[in-house]
Chains A and B, each alone.
Chain A
């Protein structure tokens, strides 16, 4: 992958500024159709999911009180893993996006929600909703690109340190919730200098994060094992396993959102004065979907509809599946590539990129971009801001 501005075949060269604004209007219309039909059924959906998730968690933790018996360990751990995944993805991530704010229910609201994760909601909302969703795939602005620890673009200068990035990525996957917390704190940047380390704002945020981590760890690794009595150790291992499963799963799903081959990145200066249509276009090119069953979509918190989520981050997640064909149609008509694939394929693609870019450029004869089959318009006009290359 290389920033779209430096590719030999610019995948948006065939679009005029008017085309891009028209595309924006079409996407606005899709968004509006969902907003107008949003109602009691959607509210019932999220309440049902929250209700079921909490009961599943309660039941799993109850079973784990007897976790010294292997079948109980297995059932309880599986249930708790699923409950934690649903809580983080279909509920927490989406509620914190404000997808359910329209219900005006103070208990299911972006301003009040706290999730079962090491990163405090406040900090997650800043780094994810604000930075990642606004500056999606803009090199130097969107820290989700490699989380600041990996080389994910040919244009990032290679350094021997990156040889280890497949390993870093695996470790990050196992302890993903702490990776997210560190990332939300911008630890790399904030620990780099004495001045930043001592900054009261950073120290205050770090304190909040440490308190959250302490509460989370006390719950899973002290309190629940203790109330399991003789099953204390096996409950501890069950809770650790559930957190590990949740971490590996969420990491895999999230890697599929922006890392697979075919996803475009953008130069920092390319977003100066960006219009609504251009913002939409960047989201379209910068995200990738995962295809699969209803159950798979649900377990990814509908982040399998990453493209739709990035176009409409505040629409209720249960509606992404319904707008996906309309969005795909817009891609087709404007000659853009709708990047999608099965979970194994996309995970492999993302890992392939992590491994490939751990080596210097040109080490492997991979294509720079996989953009193919672009339609070419007659009498095409230049983009408003001509690509640098």
Chain B
């Protein structure tokens, strides 16, 4: 089963079995959000919102307050700059302020560039900095299921940083830890695929990489697996992200560095605006970019 099929199944079951709700814009349009939304109707709990993004975020939060545990779909993560206000300022604070939980499952979908300055990449960094909300970036079917189980077992809002490239994935991605590693990669979201490819190419150059995939961005803890992999790495580590570098990449790198005392680099989107023309795009670190960065580190 692919990630898309997993999401669709979870959604269908939530609407049928839990009297849940799914809300968002253009859900029933061609493609049904990349094949992740079951072909159901409003009376089943699949609710088309108007195109008013800011209001839509608030409406979804209101549905969460009503106890329907809504899945709120935002088709492009860049649209979160409009949608985030109610989610971080109300849903994420409600339990702490008033003791009233406001569990909302925010499906926020990223893609790899191609559509200009705002809409495409990951933007989980904006949620990472706010209290009261969990941030999760699954790329495999089982990871998605685990995230959903967490959501249903807790009463906090959850920001799920999805990526279109994950939708077709029907396998799991295991961490790779070797005793003689040169460096440990901590990739997030779509960069996990690129990191795997980069590691294969680096191995051909004799550079050995550990890969410890990062799915939980918040709460984030420096696990034994992370620290053990890093202690065994000659040149430290690198967090790789499809959001801007001054976001999750640096936050995680700081925590890991602080805990282990090992040097950890950060690599993310460049500090510039993406344009539409391919040569102006600002893509998540490609396999080549990761490769070059690691060559730089180990040959310094």
* Binding between chains A and B: no
- Give A contacts to B, CB under 8 Å: none
